[in-house]
């Protein structure tokens, strides 16, 4: 069990050093959250020649592994925090191992048959996903332990999302640019992976120092649970916390939506906009508004509440996504305007639920009597990464239904009209529908600014 110092009426503000260290970690999470979703499926289908459904199946395997391993990592994270007083060890291990695994993922030997190359990528991506979870699970648990204050958590997570938005812009636009600068596809993907891996490792190591600022002490007589009970603890957390169920459900649905758009960007750029390089412009249009709007969503949260801003951002994203159905008739510059509006909404869809999660963790601790920050962080990471990755899988299903032709020589292929239609549906209609499906869950989210009473969720649920 982890205990925190008792809260006071006016808790001291977070130190700038802590906020900066924590925010820098989003450079690494932006890279791993963006580039695999953006280029991995395309790498499999249009560089290695793997069929679209097979490419999607490889990603599904890695995400199933995420769901299995993340609660266990949450257990280890809680154990380290209880016994050693810090979650940093896991974060450092992830920072060291992820760059290596990421480089291996994009360096499948060209001399191997296609099936062997696909297995190479699958195994390396599985290793990458594990390494990322070693960092991400304790990273998510930290805000609840860095401060008890509602608004300070919003400040901390707003900074994180601003850095995340910058990272997505840099890696989303710069990653494909590095790939294209490599001379050949094999060299280009390797160059992209090496540069990205190095930046991920450094940013994650710097961010791990924030774990030293968490206000944790070892409880007398605390006995961490066994690994076998970690999964039951994750299920128990979901069962007892309505707030966690509603917030995670909404975030997973939105992860599917953004994962679809992320996976579809390269295909839409190549086949609908007739420019493979246009993916960098699409990313600039998506993320530049997010840099401006992330602080605005924080201001809305302080004035009206986090859940209000979350709903507004989600509806705005859905409207922007559905407007992209215009790609059926025209592929002009108007597309970048719709993507920019989606980017403005995306800033709120990222910053606000992440600012709400520490409230859920603190509320659960107040009701449950002990901290489950690592366990809840593991559950959240499993849902977050699975949502984004399964969005990519849904896009591969749409491609397969549309008759997309995979080839290791894409310049020699002409895609049928049905495949182009599938790209537009996966880039617009499906993301909009998933975003709107998440709104009822946000409406039912029970915690508000005055939800410090652990019985408030019970009353809200009608218990």
Per-residue pLDDT of the chain (463 residues; tens, 9 = 90+): 344 444 444 556 778 888 888 889 989 988 998 888 788 988 998 889 899 888 888 888 887 887 788 878 887 887 787 777 778 889 999 999 999 999 999 999 988 999 999 999 999 999 998 999 999 888 887 887 777 776 777 778 778 877 887 887 788 878 888 988 887 888 999 999 999 999 999 999 999 888 877 654 333 334 444 555 667 777 888 889 999 999 999 999 998 998 898 888 888 888 888 887 787 788 788 777 877 887 888 888 888 889 999 999 999 999 999 999 999 988 888 999 999 999 899 889 988 898 888 889 888 888 877 767 777 877 887 787 777 778 888 998 999 999 988 876 656 678 888 999 999 999 999 999 999 999 999 999 998 766 544 444 444 444 3
Tokens standing for 102?
């990421």
Entry field: residues in the chain: 463
Whole-angstrom Cα Rg for the chain = 21
Number of neighbours of residue 64 by Cβ within 10 angstroms: 14
> What are the angstrom distances between the C-alpha of 326 and each of 299, 319, 329, 427?
33, 12, 6, 11
What whole-number distance in Å separates Cα of residue 162 and Cα of residue 119? 36
Environment class of 8 (CB within 10 Å of its CB; exposed 0-12, middle 13-18, buried 19+): exposed
Of 29, 93, 32, 27, nearest to 62 by C-alpha is 32
Tell me if 176 sits within 8 A of 185, measured CB to CB.
Answer: no
Superfamily for domain range 14-210+228-461:
MFS general substrate transporter like domains (1.20.1250.20)
User: Residue 424 phi/psi, 5° resolution?
Assistant: -65, -45
CA-to-CA distance for 125 and 121, rounded, in angstroms? Answer: 6
CB 24 within 8 A of CB 207: yes
- Block residue for tokens 């594990």: 130
Distance (Å, whole) CA 65 – CA 323: 35
**Quick check: 356 and 388 in contact, CB under 8 A?**
no
- Max Cα-Cα span within the chain: 68
Do 46 and 269 contact (CB within 8 A), yes or no? no
CA-CA distance, 210 to 200, in Å (whole number)?
16
| Residue 276 DSSP SS3 | coil
Q: What would the two tokens of residue 404 be?
A: 């997309």
How many Cα atoms sit within 13 Å of 233 on the Cβ side?
27
Report the C-alpha gap between 317 and 320 in whole angstroms: 5
Spell out the residues 6+ positions from residue 367 whose beta carbon is closer than 8 angstroms to its own. 240, 241, 454, 455, 457
């Amino acid at each position: 069990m982890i205990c925190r110092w008792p809260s006071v009426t006016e808790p001291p503000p977070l130190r700038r050093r802590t906020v900066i260290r924590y925010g820098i970690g989003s450079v690494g999470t932006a890279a791993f959250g963006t580039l695999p979703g953006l280029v991995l499926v395309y790498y499999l289908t249009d560089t290695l020649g793997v069929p679209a459904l097979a490419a999607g199946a490889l990603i599904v395997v890695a995400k199933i592994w995420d769901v299995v391993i993340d609660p266990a990592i949450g257990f280890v994270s809680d154990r380290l925090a209880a016994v050693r007083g810090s979650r940093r060890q896991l974060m450092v291990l992830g920072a060291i191992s992820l760059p290596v695994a990421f480089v291996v993922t994009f360096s499948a030997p060209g001399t191997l048959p296609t099936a062997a190359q696909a297995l190479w990528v699958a195994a390396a991506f599985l290793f990458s996903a594990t390494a990322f979870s070693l960092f991400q699970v304790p990273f998510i648990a930290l805000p609840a332990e860095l401060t008890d204050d509602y608004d300070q958590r919003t400040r901390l997570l707003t900074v994180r999302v601003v850095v995340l938005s910058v990272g997505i812009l840099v890696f989303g636009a710069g990653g494909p640019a590095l790939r294209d600068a490599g001379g050949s596809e094999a060299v280009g993907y390797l160059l992209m992976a090496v540069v990205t891996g190095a930046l991920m490792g450094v940013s994650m190591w710097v961010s791990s120092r924030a774990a030293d600022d968490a206000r944790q002490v070892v409880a007398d007589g605390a006995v961490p649970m066994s690994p076998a009970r970690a999964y039951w603890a994750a299920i128990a957390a979901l069962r007892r916390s309505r707030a966690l169920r509603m917030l995670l459900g909404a975030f997973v649905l939105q992860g599917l939506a953004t994962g679809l758009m992320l996976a579809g960007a390269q295909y839409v750029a190549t086949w609908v906009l007739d420019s493979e390089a246009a993916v960098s412009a699409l990313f600039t249009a998506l993320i530049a508004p997010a840099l401006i709007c992330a602080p605005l969503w924080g201001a809305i949260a302080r004035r009206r509440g986090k859940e209000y801003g979350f709903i507004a951002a989600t509806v705005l994203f859905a409207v922007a996504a559905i407007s992209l159905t215009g790609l059926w008739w025209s592929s002009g510059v108007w597309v970048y305007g719709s993507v920019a509006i989606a980017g403005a909404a995306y800033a709120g869809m990222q910053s606000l639920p992440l600012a709400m999660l520490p409230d859920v963790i603190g509320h659960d601790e107040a009701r449950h009597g002990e901290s489950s920050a690592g366990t809840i962080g593991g559950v959240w990471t499993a849902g977050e990464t699975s949502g984004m990755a399964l969005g990519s899988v849904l896009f591969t299903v749409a491609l397969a239904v549309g008759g997309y032709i995979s080839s290791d020589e894409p310049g020699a292929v002409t895609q049928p009209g049905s495949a182009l239609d599938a790209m537009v549906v996966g880039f617009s209609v499906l993301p909009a529908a998933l975003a709107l499906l998440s709104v009822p869950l946000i409406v039912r989210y029970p915690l508000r600014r005055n939800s410090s009473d652990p019985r408030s969720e019970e009353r809200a649920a009608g218990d």
